[in-house]
Amino acid sequence: MVVAAITFRLRESPRGALVWATDETHVHLLPHVRATWTLRSGRPEIGTPGKNRQVTVFGALEMTTGRWVYRLGRRCAADFIALLEQIRLVAPTGPAIVVICDDDSIHHAHAVTDYLNKHPTMEVLFGGRYSPHDNPVERIWAALKTFIANTAVSWPGRL
Greater model confidence, 8 or 153: 8
> Given a cut of 90, is residue 51 above it in pLDDT?
no
Greater model confidence, 39 or 50: 39
Residues 6 or more apart whose Cβ sits within 8 Å of residue 144:
25, 27, 57
CA 12, CA 97: separation in Å to the nearest integer? 13
Number of domains in the chain: 1
Provide the domain limits for residue 131: 2-26+54-154
- Please check whether residue 115 lies inside any domain of the structure: yes
> Given a cut of 80, is residue 103 above it in pLDDT?
yes
DSSP secondary structure string, 51-116? ---EEEEEEEEETTT--EEEEEE-SSHHHHHHHHHHHHHHSTTSS-EEEEE---GGGG-HHHHHHH
Tens-digit pLDDT profile for residues 125-137: 998 767 777 889 9
- Please check whether residue 131 lies inside any domain of the structure: yes
